[in-house]
Amino acid sequence: RAARRRAACAAVYRACSRPETAKACGVAGTVVLQTMSAGYPPVISLEDLRARTPSALHSLKDALLCPTFGYFELDCSQSSFDVHRTYEAALEFFAQPTEVKCQYVHTQYVSESGGYVPILEEYAYVKGTAALVESFDVVRDLSLADLRRVRDTLGADAARGLGPMDWPVEVSDMKPAFRAFYSSCDDAAKVLMTSVALALGLDERTFSQYFGDTAHCSMRAMHYPTIAEHQEVQKSEVNESHKSQDGRRSRRLGHRISSTRDAVSIVGIAEHTDFEFITILHQTVQGLELKGRDGSWRLAAAHPDSPLFTVIFADALEIFTNGLVRATPHRVLASQNDKDRYSLVRFNGLNDLAIVEPLTQFVTVERPRKFVAATQGEHVGKQVTSASDNLAQMLEEKKYPKTTLTAPPKRFAQMLIVAGDRILLGKHTCGEFA
């Protein structure tokens, strides 16, 4: 059964990647950009940046200071990225029954260490919005021993957003595929942080010196279903569990989504800027929109057949440069025309305790200091709390398509010790024994 599921998921991904399917999804071929105005963002090779070729660094500088786009595309075709394998593992996980996926809801550990975010439970970055998306989030997958060392050396705050991960046992290739992709992202992040510094005329280690084992670097595999498909999945699961013989529950959900349109807007992801330093994103079909400095919204390209990523500037980069480089507002449109969208996102931040504040080179009489100092962890925590509060308020006011959020599973590990004529049964409610 598992083999058949993997084969089916692989077939779905290959279908999404075919030119004729891409055309049906609104993407003419595999490398096309739709924009709301003329022009294309620059495409820069990761390997050219690694080699520090003058032309690549010049293009990066233009992208950072561009008065129009606020993003660029990163060609990783000569790198170790395997987007096909990662998507196939993600699709296999998202194809699991809801009750299986919810066994991996954030999170059984004390620290925030990744897991499944069910549909309509994404934080609300804008009040009055509901995100029709589900995701599986990955953090730096440290062992318990390494996590303890971080806590003992740097304190509990520095261990936020670190592993160990609870990997789904139902998808055998998920752990190796996602860890390989995460490692490739680490490599790209180091090159990008060094290259950004050089492009801005700074010492090459200006930013990369803060990129280490405690860096805020979450990765997300995201699935944006259509409203129609979401309702159909709900109906199927209700029927299978015999909770309803006529599908009334799924129709009520559909009615609720429809009726809450007046109270909330159903979106893919609401408008926001990312909280870290720089983001790389891959998508199977279009849906990501980015807002340029000129105020125009542009659809980012989809490149399902190749490791060609959209690179988005985030808050820490804007703060370091005192606003010279702007964090790029972006959003995701709700999936249309019965076409699901999948994306792989990696947020590349700095160590939790890294101080993020304007560098002296960017503070002048003409450009006075615009931001106060904060650690990367404090900034991320503040922004996440704000988005979480928006969601909680809508739930409390009953202005949301769901009435409650999915509770993390109650997990425990058992250990049986036999010593002579004595037996000790131990239980660990955090999920595992050291």
Where do the structural domains in the chain lie, given as residue ranges?
40-238+264-433
Bridging pattern class, strands 341-348 and 330-332: unpaired
Q: Which one has a higher pLDDT value, 104 or 414?
A: 104
The encoded tokens of residue 213 equal 């084992």
According to the model, what pLDDT value does residue 108 have?
38
According to the model, what pLDDT value does residue 282 have?
98
The CA-based angle 65-68-69, given to 5 degrees, is 85
Q: Which of 105, 107, 109, 108 is nearest to 121 (CA)?
A: 105
Q: Are 395 and 403 in contact (CB under 8 A)?
A: yes
According to the model, what pLDDT value does residue 426 have?
67
According to the model, what pLDDT value does residue 112 have?
65
Percent of the chain with pLDDT over 70: 78
Class of domain 40-238+264-433: mainly beta
The whole-angstrom separation of Cα 341 and Cα 7 is 19
According to the model, what pLDDT value does residue 244 have?
41
Q: Which of 312, 313, 314, 316 is nearest to 357 (CA)?
A: 316
The whole-angstrom separation of Cα 61 and Cα 210 is 21
> Does position 328 have pLDDT exceeding 90, yes or no?
yes
> Does position 189 have pLDDT exceeding 80, yes or no?
yes
> Does position 261 have pLDDT exceeding 80, yes or no?
no
The pLDDT mean for the chain works out to 83
Q: Are 278 and 348 in contact (CB under 8 A)?
A: yes
Q: Are 314 and 274 in contact (CB under 8 A)?
A: yes
According to the model, what pLDDT value does residue 97 have?
96
According to the model, what pLDDT value does residue 27 have?
31
Question: Mind listing the pLDDT tens digit for each residue in 191-221?
Answer: 999 999 999 999 999 999 999 888 989 999 9
The encoded tokens of residue 29 equal 């071929």
